[in-house]
Amino acid sequence: MNDRENKLRAARFENPERIPISFGISSGCWDYYPQSALQDLMEAHPLLFPGFHKKEDRIKPSYAPWRRAGQPYTDSWGCVWETAQNGITGAVVKHALSAWDLIRDYQPPCPEEHDGWGPIDWRRTRERIAEARKAGLLAAGGLRHGHTFLTLTYLRGYESLVFDMCDEHAQLPSLIEMVEEFNRGLVERFVEAGVEWMGYPEDLGMQQGPMLSPDQFRQYIKPTYRRLVSPARQAGCVIHMHSDGDIRELAGDLMDVGIDVVNLQDLVNGIDWIEANLRGRVCVDLDIDRQNITRFGTPAQIDDHVRNAVEKLGSREGGLMMKHGLYPGVPLENIGALMDAMEKYSQHFS
């Protein structure tokens, strides 16, 4: 069973061979850690980094334009971004629709030409998807991170948007419709290109509680989510939805939308809560802690944490995936311990 089939089986509760795992190394790590040590760890963990071999030449990290320190970047929507650290997405410093009167002359991006961050080459995208299918790899597509709610905050500003929702501003529905129309154009193009896995990444949570009330989510965002998911569901795609932060108050609404896989953070939401409320109802793509245990704990605590998550959330039928995003600051010893634990416990039900 290859990785593609294993992942699809896990998402559909169809008895995968092992728990799918992934480990993303952010570009900023290559200037922070000794490259030789980082590559040694990658080479020693073939389940996480299949086919990787240590390179003699220094790896020069490549940064997306919105992740380049000291270089303001204007996205497809006309919002200006700045970051203080290479490799880390910064924040919007100029909102394209900071005042409602600006909407009169505003032109939204076209999904034939843009993906939200910048230009998109649909010919190359279709080729990539076709090549993945031909090679037996997962043919995946996805909207940009922050596709709906966060895009509205980028356009209006977070505080202004929340007040717009509280005030039920007369122009807010038309702005939401504008963002939805753009995103639906992207979804339809991905579906036409033949994706079998469609991602909808958008942070909705804070450290405690969601960034908008459940009532606001249900009135303004949930109907859009449902309509954006619909074309991909009808095409038989696996629907993957990501959100950082505490989303416990919104989890039921997200499942109502029709998702197959939810990627959420472990400690912020709580392993016990995830077990009680999501296990067996939806495939959990567990985001392994980046705030506490991996940064400040011991290798033994890291191992215990991953084992506990697998024992409480996993099953032979599937329904569990695990991932980790590495950013500068985690001790190398802890990185190795986390890689070890993810590989070891991914085979817990084999």
Q: What is the pLDDT along the chain (350 residues), one digit of tens a residue?
A: 899 999 999 999 999 999 999 999 999 999 899 999 999 999 999 999 999 999 888 888 889 999 999 999 999 999 999 999 999 999 999 999 999 999 999 999 999 999 999 999 999 999 999 999 999 999 999 999 999 999 999 999 999 999 999 999 999 999 999 999 999 999 999 999 999 999 999 999 999 999 999 999 999 999 999 999 999 999 999 999 999 999 999 999 999 999 999 999 999 999 999 999 999 999 999 999 999 999 999 999 999 999 999 999 999 999 999 999 999 999 999 999 999 999 999 999 86
Residue 340 has a CB neighbour count (10 Å cut-off) of 18
Assigned domain for 70 exists: no
Domain count, the chain: 1
Give the pLDDT confidence score for residue 57 in this predicted structure. 82
66: three-class secondary structure by DSSP: helix
Q: Are 294 and 330 in contact (CB under 8 A)?
A: yes
- The CATH number that applies at residue 148 is 3.20.20.210
Assigned domain for 93 exists: no
Print the domain residue range for 295: 3-50+100-345
Assigned domain for 74 exists: no
Angstrom distance (rounded) from CA 98 to CA 283: 38
Q: Are 294 and 327 in contact (CB under 8 A)?
A: no
Assigned domain for 82 exists: no
Assigned domain for 135 exists: yes
Task: With 0.75 as the threshold, say if the pTM is over it.
Answer: yes
Distances (CA, A) of 37 to 26, 30, 50, 326, 336: 15, 10, 18, 14, 10
Assigned domain for 248 exists: yes
For the record, the structure tokens of 5 come out as 């089939």
The HSE-up count of residue 148 (CA atoms within 13 Å, CB side) is: 30
Assigned domain for 191 exists: yes
For the chain, how big is the Rg over CA atoms in Å? 20
Assigned domain for 85 exists: no
Angstrom distance (rounded) from CA 217 to CA 221: 5
